[in-house]
A and B are shown apart, each in its own frame.
Chain A
Amino acid sequence: MSSTLSNNAMTSLKRSLAADPFASNISSKVYVRSTKSGKVQKIVRELYLRQDIPCSSKLCTSCLKTAPRDASGVLAPLVLSAKPAGTKKYKQGHYLVPDTNALLNALDLFEQTAAFYDVIILQTVLEELRNRSLPLYNRLIGLTKSEEKRFYVFFNDFRLETYVVRDPGESINDRNDRAVRRAVKWYGEHLTEAVKAAGGNSKSVPAVVMLSDDKENLTKAKRDGIDATSLKEYVGGLENADQLLDMISVVKEGRELRDARSAEALYAEYFSVSKMMTGVKNGTLHQGIFNVSPYNYLEGSIKVPAFDKSLIVLGRENINRAVHGDVVVVEVLPKDQWKEPSTKIIEEESMNRDENADADEGEAVVTEKERKALQEEVKKMHSKSSEGKPQPTAKVVGVVKRNWRQYVGHVDESSVSQSAKENRKQQTVFLIPMDKKIPKIRVRTRQAGEIIGKRVLVTIDSWDRDSRHPVGHFVRSLGDLETKGAETEALLLEYDVQYRPFPKAVLDCLPAEGHDWIVPPSTDDPGWKDRKDLRHLDICSIDPIGCQDIDDALHARPLPNGNFEVGVHIADVSHFVKPNNAMDAEASIRGTTVYLVDKRIDMLPMLLGTDLCSLKPYVERYAFSAIWEITPDAEIVKSDFTKSVIKSREAFSYEAAQIRVDDETQQDELTTNIRILLMLSKKFKQKRMDAGALSLSSPEVRVEMESETSDPIDVKTKKHLATMSLVEEFMLLANTSVAAKIYEAFPQTAMLRRHGAPPKTNFEELANQLKVKRGCELKVSSSKELADSLDACVDPQEPFFNTLVRVMATRCMMSAEYFCSGTQAYPEFRHYGLASEIYTHFTSPIRRYADLVAHRQLAAAINYEALHPAVRSKGKLEAVCKNINVRHRNAQQAGRASIEYYVGQALKGRIVEEEGFVMKIFSNGFVVFVPRFGIESLIRLRDLADPEPESVFDAENYVLRTSGNREVEVELFEKVVVRISDVLEEKTGKRKVKLELVGKGSK
């Protein structure tokens, strides 16, 4: 058919459509879609039906004759095996044809290696899946590309025999189901014929089995005489049924049960999509990302473009099944329901610990206890003077996009019935996610007994109106709680860090010489083309102790005219990682190297990161150099960028460099050069500070490990050395100069980094707290003013107070982000924290992908090489930016979580008394920050004494007074002494530090 289609001569000019020789082969698809603006469009598409779409079974010879070839004449290989695996029911072997629901509910299953081979994915199903869930669609496409899984995509809607026209009055779903059944039937007949033609036994024809969870579809299939089975039934017939059964999402089953009982809905129904869209468009509804408060799981906030301040969403009914991170649409509540943000800590665990996972009957959305907690809130609100400003509240009326991912957690032991621990009865248990912002998930499993005390991975499948908690299914177990392996993997999964070893395709991109690679000795080698020979310079690197991936090295020397020449030399990673090969793709997905306490997850393979790219001392390395001429007053006279070859003289640690500089007797070249750098860096820093750069603070600690067992033994706070700011200043200088250079060369597509000015409202609370408690005024109209007013926030008796304020101010900031220059106006490029007009990341290409992109752009800007199209396309760069922004944030969080875990481990079994500061205060507890260990933790009233003491909370003055069996008065910023011990937190299954209040003042 294909060949005749275009060559067929037209015989008649004026003919009715019926006489058209193609009429039977051409159909058109007409459908209606509505656009974002609410317009309805009618789309007409042609469909060319054909008979040369192969069945792709190795049993069939007839399809091979007409099988398609691509433009270079290559035949697409056949996918489905001639001897597919059999099951109890289909002994002769079988091909699977899942329908859309089967894939939606249990794609995890299809990714298993134990079963699910030889699967036919129909075009109809693929299209439907794409509409329903893009991530699942992408995963499925990944599966079809895997050779061993043998997934074949059959374009049934293009094949004449399997094309189905939608009947009048038939719903699109029914039409699609019918198309699936037609395709299954055709496959069956086709294979029988094929086997017959080959002279085979008709009994050996593999069965073609439709997998569906739709009852009606199954019944109709039976009527049509097609092999069809539900997922559950099918998996039940497999060998490792128990394991696999758990992975079937419970959605379908649950619904059937509920239908029978006509359960009442607990939550309000979501608005229809068009209603939400119209609402958002004309401003009555608002769209934004839903965030849950870390202290109160019943309070969420949502930042919408229409208002400066976030809207508050209070209570289960208003949150209406939104989960942290979802994109939701909210409606503002009437003014009489406006409230102050909660001053109370509410934790799900302590509220609903006795809930029964299995019980559905008589369940209310809001439990009595929760209701009481909220009532008290309201009462407090009303009793207060008019001073307390209620904030606008809102309720969720619909979810635009779920951002559900896989969650790491552990099974709530109390929800598992004793008897089930022994036998393998299926039961429902609660799974408590590690992330406190995620509600507990109801999971049906047969393995409850086995997964108690394990770290497990689950996904949320759905959250129906009639279920109080989301329903999910168990994916796999990571190992026992509190074992290093399981906890590290949990952390990596939770923050979506790609930690699998590099695949072969990536390793194939490495230089063939491996560790023996050297800079070519002959300067005629193509590697030397346009490279400056800087081997004669006294270059050295300064890094933290034990650093293996040395990104940067420095040099300085006096010039005859009294100025200085300063060079920053960055590892030339772009020489090894060429755009668009497998290694580049992998690095762009990883985005950054992730540093955990005991582990480093590299962005690039070890060979590059720690050897070939790393600017190790005493060996020649390729580098990308930025060289400036600088006056003694730190004015830049001239700057120059070039690819180069360098030989680092020495790799110092910060400490070693510091000692060398301080030692007056050291007068060698290298040391004097470092002194020049130090002198200049101080001037640069002063200039930055004068321009309004902020010096912010975040609690940083280092965990000391025992060298052999790598068990944590102690926690140290990081010391700051002058050599650290030396390196920092020159890296900032390099980054800023490079940013300006690549922006000049590529105004539309330069890879830059910006830090938005925080909205004033972010500082409102902190400013008020400072004013009330310390009489300091925080000015936030510019970074300069903020920097100055932060400097003024000092307490003569308490030197740490200033740092504490800086820590708190840091949390009010926006986060910096990568962006592509064409997407923002120039004034938006500003880096608020550094008070720089333009900024990028250039200096750490080994561990950050953004730097690698900047390297390529700079190389093109200095005409070293042509810019690869992928680095020039705005769309592509935007996608890269979006990804690395997320990766960067995740990497930071993972790093912090890792430190937190190890601090907990280091303190295991020890009891220490330390000084701390009150950082945040609630009506039933307060948060204490302990600088010595960089930890902050909550002390609840009920931790103070048992029973919980009575308390009065003065929200205006941030004072909490307790009376009764323990009398304490705690106020904000106050110095307290706490006893630190460790406790296994039941809620998250993490070992966490627990603080107890000992007294006030110093130790």
Chain B
Amino acid sequence: MPLDTSTYSLALLRLDGRRWNELRRLTAQISTQASADGSSFLSMGNTKVICTVTGPSEVKAAPGASGRGDEAVVSVEISVAGFSGVERKRRGKGDKRIYEMQTTIATAFQATLFTHLYPRSTITISLHILSLDGSLLATCLNASTLALIDAGVPMRDYICATTAGSTSSYSSNDEKADPLLDLNGSEELELPFLTVATCGTEDEVSVLVMETRVQVGRLEGMLAVGVDGCKQVRDILDVVVRARGKRILEGSQL
């Protein structure tokens, strides 16, 4: 069994050999499934997500379902593969955490997409989680951004997300604690962390979720590191999108 997070202070190295301000390897592909309106595959470290976007399409015959006729409704479906975690486990539809993530993602994009252009329609984002190793919400948000761009849904700017944590747990009383960027699964288990997403380059926070407890004094540092991480993610996504655009322009792939 490897060491735990308490060894960070010995050499300022995290469990997987990263420094405090380093992202994991982030790889992204766009247009991975020709059949979907928009699709992407994104991995942050060992967290891997496939995203497909359907729509905007007409609201199906269930008038009571959504009351908004003047703009498109974003709906999110997340499915977690049974083999994604360490133990093979089936997750039912009723999982509250998944439900909450769906709502968080839907709300974030509802505000960023130009939904008023598509009245009486829905945009469905389906996320398939293939592998789980921390920063799940952030990975899902990033994958959705790419897939939505691929689908050609107009939006204000990229939504880019990361997690940020602190090297010291809530109850242990280390005076010094470094903020950490992009936590992996085992760090998330031991340390307090938040997920932050920004929209655009102007540090505009569009999602902020924190479920663990942390001393208030450490929050600012964590946020700063998280927002900075979002910028790094944006740069990487931008390269992917531009490369795709270039290829379309060249007509090599349509």
Residues in chain A within 8 A of chain B (CB atoms)? 2, 5-7, 9-14, 20, 22, 26, 28-29, 33, 39, 41-50, 53, 68-72, 76, 123, 126-127, 130-131, 141, 144, 153-155, 157-158, 580, 869-870, 873, 875-876
Q: Which B residues touch A14, using CB under 8 A?
A: 29
Instruction: Identify A46's interface contact among B16, B20, B170, CB under 8 A.
Output: B16
Q: Do A10 and B28 contact each other (CB < 8 Å), given the known contacts A39-B87, A127-B2, A155-B13?
A: yes
Give me 25 A-to-B residue pairs in the complex whose CB atoms sit less than 8 angstroms apart, sorted by A's number: A2-B22, A6-B22, A9-B236, A20-B25, A41-B87, A44-B46, A46-B16, A46-B25, A46-B133, A46-B184, A53-B11, A70-B12, A71-B21, A71-B225, A123-B3, A130-B1, A131-B1, A141-B10, A155-B10, A155-B17, A158-B13, A580-B173, A869-B213, A870-B171, A873-B170
Stretch at the interface among B50-58, B74-82, B103-111, B237-245: B237-245
Q: How far is the CA of A9 from the CA of B87 in the complex (A)?
A: 34
Tell yes or no: B19 within 8 A of A by CB: yes
Asked if B3 and A126 make an inter-chain contact with CB atoms under 8 angstroms apart, the answer reads: yes
Asked if A45 and B15 make an inter-chain contact with CB atoms under 8 angstroms apart, the answer reads: yes
Q: Which A residues touch B23, using CB under 8 A?
A: 5-6
Most chain B beta-carbon neighbours within 10 Å: one of A39, A44, A49, A71: A71
Asked if A53 and B239 make an inter-chain contact with CB atoms under 8 angstroms apart, the answer reads: no
Q: How far is the CA of A141 from the CA of B4 in the complex (A)?
A: 13
Q: How far is the CA of A580 from the CA of B173 in the complex (A)?
A: 7
Tell yes or no: B86 within 8 A of A by CB: yes
Please classify the interface of chain B as helix (H, G, I), strand (E, B), loop, or mixed, using the class held by over half of its residues: loop
Which residue of chain B is the closest to A868 with respect to CB atoms?
B173
Asked if A48 and B28 make an inter-chain contact with CB atoms under 8 angstroms apart, the answer reads: no
Tell yes or no: B93 within 8 A of A by CB: no
Nearest Cβ distance between residue A867 and chain B, in whole angstroms?
12
Q: Which B residues touch A141, using CB under 8 A?
A: 10
Asked if B86 and A68 make an inter-chain contact with CB atoms under 8 angstroms apart, the answer reads: no
Asked if B86 and A869 make an inter-chain contact with CB atoms under 8 angstroms apart, the answer reads: no
Q: Do A76 and B11 contact each other (CB < 8 Å), given the known contacts A13-B29, A48-B22?
A: yes
Nearest Cβ distance between residue B212 and chain A, in whole angstroms?
12
Asked if A130 and B173 make an inter-chain contact with CB atoms under 8 angstroms apart, the answer reads: no
Asked if A153 and B17 make an inter-chain contact with CB atoms under 8 angstroms apart, the answer reads: no
Asked if B1 and A33 make an inter-chain contact with CB atoms under 8 angstroms apart, the answer reads: yes
Nearest Cβ distance between residue B124 and chain A, in whole angstroms?
25
Tell yes or no: B178 within 8 A of A by CB: yes
Residues in chain B within 8 A of chain A (CB atoms)? 1-3, 7, 10-13, 15-25, 27-30, 45-46, 86-87, 133, 170-171, 173, 176, 178-179, 184, 186, 213, 215, 221, 225, 232, 235-236, 239-240, 243-244
Q: Which A residues touch B28, using CB under 8 A?
A: 10, 13
Q: How far is the CA of A878 from the CA of B239 in the complex (A)?
A: 51
Asked if B20 and A71 make an inter-chain contact with CB atoms under 8 angstroms apart, the answer reads: yes
Asked if A45 and B186 make an inter-chain contact with CB atoms under 8 angstroms apart, the answer reads: yes
Q: Which B residues touch A44, using CB under 8 A?
A: 46, 133
Nearest Cβ distance between residue A852 and chain B, in whole angstroms?
16
Asked if B86 and A48 make an inter-chain contact with CB atoms under 8 angstroms apart, the answer reads: no
Asked if A9 and B239 make an inter-chain contact with CB atoms under 8 angstroms apart, the answer reads: yes
Asked if B29 and A153 make an inter-chain contact with CB atoms under 8 angstroms apart, the answer reads: no
Asked if A41 and B176 make an inter-chain contact with CB atoms under 8 angstroms apart, the answer reads: no
Instruction: Identify A48's interface contact among B17, B20, B186, B232, CB under 8 A.
Output: B17
Q: Do A10 and B3 contact each other (CB < 8 Å), given the known contacts A41-B87, A153-B11, A155-B17?
A: no
Asked if B236 and A10 make an inter-chain contact with CB atoms under 8 angstroms apart, the answer reads: yes
Asked if B232 and A7 make an inter-chain contact with CB atoms under 8 angstroms apart, the answer reads: yes
Asked if A869 and B11 make an inter-chain contact with CB atoms under 8 angstroms apart, the answer reads: no
Q: Do A13 and B171 contact each other (CB < 8 Å), given the known contacts A7-B232, A48-B18, A127-B2?
A: no
Q: How far is the CA of A7 from the CA of B234 in the complex (A)?
A: 11
Instruction: Identify B11's interface contact among A43, A155, A870, CB under 8 A.
Output: A155
Asked if A47 and B17 make an inter-chain contact with CB atoms under 8 angstroms apart, the answer reads: yes
Q: Which B residues touch A76, using CB under 8 A?
A: 11-12
Asked if A50 and B173 make an inter-chain contact with CB atoms under 8 angstroms apart, the answer reads: no
Q: Which A residues touch B133, using CB under 8 A?
A: 44, 46
Asked if A153 and B10 make an inter-chain contact with CB atoms under 8 angstroms apart, the answer reads: yes
Asked if B235 and A7 make an inter-chain contact with CB atoms under 8 angstroms apart, the answer reads: yes
Q: Do A873 and B171 contact each other (CB < 8 Å), given the known contacts A10-B240, A33-B1, A41-B87?
A: yes
Q: How far is the CA of A14 from the CA of B247 in the complex (A)?
A: 13
Nearest Cβ distance between residue A383 and chain B, in whole angstroms?
55
Nearest Cβ distance between residue B38 and chain A, in whole angstroms?
15
Q: Which B residues touch A68, using CB under 8 A?
A: 11-13, 19
Nearest Cβ distance between residue A304 and chain B, in whole angstroms?
28
Q: Which A residues touch B21, using CB under 8 A?
A: 6, 71
Nearest Cβ distance between residue B16 and chain A, in whole angstroms?
5
Which residue of chain B is the closest to A158 with respect to CB atoms?
B17
Q: Which A residues touch B176, using CB under 8 A?
A: 70, 72
Which residue of chain B is the closest to A26 with respect to CB atoms?
B25
Q: Which B residues touch A157, using CB under 8 A?
A: 17
Q: Which B residues touch A22, using CB under 8 A?
A: 25
Nearest Cβ distance between residue A882 and chain B, in whole angstroms?
15
Asked if A10 and B215 make an inter-chain contact with CB atoms under 8 angstroms apart, the answer reads: no
Q: How far is the CA of A29 from the CA of B2 in the complex (A)?
A: 10
Which residue of chain B is the closest to A17 with respect to CB atoms?
B27
Nearest Cβ distance between residue A680 and chain B, in whole angstroms?
42
Asked if A130 and B171 make an inter-chain contact with CB atoms under 8 angstroms apart, the answer reads: no
Q: Which B residues touch A158, using CB under 8 A?
A: 13, 17
Q: Do A10 and B171 contact each other (CB < 8 Å), given the known contacts A44-B46, A45-B2, A70-B12?
A: no
Q: Which B residues touch A9, using CB under 8 A?
A: 235-236, 239
Q: How far is the CA of A20 from the CA of B43 in the complex (A)?
A: 14
Nearest 8 CB-CB pairings of A with B: A158-B17, A873-B171, A48-B17, A71-B178, A580-B173, A6-B23, A68-B12, A153-B10
Instruction: Identify A875's interface contact among B1, B171, B244, CB under 8 A.
Output: B171
Q: Which A residues touch B244, using CB under 8 A?
A: 13
Instruction: Identify B10's interface contact among A49, A130, A144, CB under 8 A.
Output: A144
Nearest Cβ distance between residue A247 and chain B, in whole angstroms?
26
Q: Which B residues touch A5, using CB under 8 A?
A: 18, 22-23
Which residue of chain B is the closest to A52 with respect to CB atoms?
B19
Which residue of chain B is the closest to A5 with respect to CB atoms?
B22
Q: How far is the CA of A39 from the CA of B88 in the complex (A)?
A: 11
Q: How far is the CA of A130 from the CA of B11 in the complex (A)?
A: 17
Q: Which A residues touch B173, using CB under 8 A?
A: 580, 870
Q: Which B residues touch A69, using CB under 8 A?
A: 12
Which residue of chain B is the closest to A74 with respect to CB atoms?
B176
Q: Which A residues touch B22, using CB under 8 A?
A: 2, 5-6, 48
Which residue of chain B is the closest to A163 with respect to CB atoms?
B17
Q: Which A residues touch B184, using CB under 8 A?
A: 45-46
Q: How far is the CA of A875 from the CA of B170 in the complex (A)?
A: 11
Known: A2-B19, A46-B184. 19 other contacts (CB 8 A): A6-B232, A10-B28, A10-B236, A11-B239, A13-B30, A13-B244, A44-B46, A44-B133, A45-B184, A45-B186, A53-B13, A131-B1, A144-B10, A153-B10, A155-B10, A869-B170, A869-B213, A873-B170, A873-B171
Q: Do A127 and B3 contact each other (CB < 8 Å), given the known contacts A7-B235, A10-B240?
A: yes
Nearest Cβ distance between residue B146 and chain A, in whole angstroms?
11
Q: Which B residues touch A72, using CB under 8 A?
A: 176, 178
Instruction: Identify B20's interface contact among A70, A131, A144, A153, CB under 8 A.
Output: A70
Q: How far is the CA of A76 from the CA of B239 in the complex (A)?
A: 35
Q: How far is the CA of A50 from the CA of B18 in the complex (A)?
A: 8
Which residue of chain B is the closest to A130 with respect to CB atoms?
B3
Asked if A876 and B171 make an inter-chain contact with CB atoms under 8 angstroms apart, the answer reads: yes
Q: How far is the CA of A70 from the CA of B25 in the complex (A)?
A: 21
Q: How far is the CA of A47 from the CA of B16 in the complex (A)?
A: 5
Q: Which A residues touch B13, using CB under 8 A?
A: 53, 68, 155, 158
Q: How far is the CA of A46 from the CA of B17 in the complex (A)?
A: 9
Q: How far is the CA of A131 from the CA of B184 in the complex (A)?
A: 22
Nearest Cβ distance between residue A883 and chain B, in whole angstroms?
15
Q: Which B residues touch A2, using CB under 8 A?
A: 19, 22
Q: How far is the CA of A10 from the CA of B24 in the complex (A)?
A: 14
Q: Do A71 and B179 contact each other (CB < 8 Å), given the known contacts A131-B1, A144-B10?
A: yes
Q: Which A residues touch B171, using CB under 8 A?
A: 869-870, 873, 875-876
Q: Do A46 and B1 contact each other (CB < 8 Å), given the known contacts A13-B30, A53-B13, A144-B10?
A: no
Which residue of chain A is the closest to B221 with respect to CB atoms?
A71
